[in-house]
Amino acid sequence: MNHDERVQTANKLTALMVKKYGDDILLGGIFGSTAKGTDTEYSDLEMFFVVKEKSKAKSFDFAYKGMPVTVVVEKVSQVERDITEIELDWPLKMGRLFNLKITCGSSLILKRFRKLLENIPQIKINRFIAKEAILCYEGLGRLKAVKLRGNTHETGLFVAEILYEFTLLTAIFNREFINHDYLGGFNEAFKFKKLPKDFENIAKKLLNWANLSLDETINLADRFVKSFAEFTAENGIKFQKHTPLERLKL
């Protein structure tokens, strides 16, 4: 299926959604590669709909002419939570929302959502990074364990984990969006206003891990993570390395 056929399918699906749910649908559109016009004959179709609180519409997925189709449906309150409750995949959710290729509804609601985003206190973002960053060190630990365990076939997996998670954290710090899953968001991240030292240089070298020795890969990954730690410290963020058990919210 080519791009035009994929868009036509999205429009037909939109018409079916509107026919069934009417004015419950406040906004709908395409996200992912089809929205960006970078889809290929092997791409899937991804759609997102924002609906009223009373709506019975739900997310679903199916295959259409051999093409995977994913339809994400969220009520307004859930979208608002996605915006204001910071999680590691926040840049991806925001990229989906604010770069939607609209097929129905009004873009005016996006202004309301944008205001919510702008009003997120920086201290809330900083606290999230302080707590989450140390958890993202797990990827670096797994990479270092490769040398001890000899499971070198997993090297690329752990390199990707490190790059992916710390790129998301960098995006969150900058309040920026990422519109590509997996490692496709690097070119976007390289353009962020504030980046850790040598972020682009080290990241590109790590992407070439297959042509490096394991020691070289580990050293680069270590530099990448340490650079992020230095970057956050320079911006007043100290990692939360220890949480007393008695303070856990069980």
List the CATH number of the domain containing 126. 1.20.120
Task: Report yes or no on 249 lying in a domain.
Answer: no
Residue 56 pLDDT more than 90?
yes
pLDDT of residue 37: 87
The domain boundary residue, chosen from 70, 101, 118: 118
Lowest mean pLDDT among 89-93, 124-128, 222-226, 243-247: 243-247
Q: Are 182 and 197 within one domain?
A: yes
Range of the domain at 147: 122-234
Number of domains in the chain: 2
Residue 207 pLDDT more than 80?
yes
Task: Report yes or no on 240 lying in a domain.
Answer: no
Q: Are 138 and 49 within one domain?
A: no
Task: Report yes or no on 247 lying in a domain.
Answer: no
Residue 182 pLDDT more than 80?
no
Tens-place pLDDT, residues 119-161: 999 999 999 999 999 989 999 999 999 999 998 999 999 999 9
pTM: predicted TM-score of the whole model, two decimal places:
0.90
H or E element: which one contains 51? strand 45-51
Q: Are 138 and 216 within one domain?
A: yes
Q: What is the CATH number of the domain that holds 64?
A: 3.30.460.10
pLDDT of residue 102: 96
pLDDT of residue 88: 95
Q: Are 228 and 157 within one domain?
A: yes
Task: Report yes or no on 108 lying in a domain.
Answer: yes
The confidence band for 105, taking pLDDT boundaries of 50, 70 and 90, is very high
Q: Average pLDDT of the chain?
A: 93
Task: Report yes or no on 21 lying in a domain.
Answer: yes
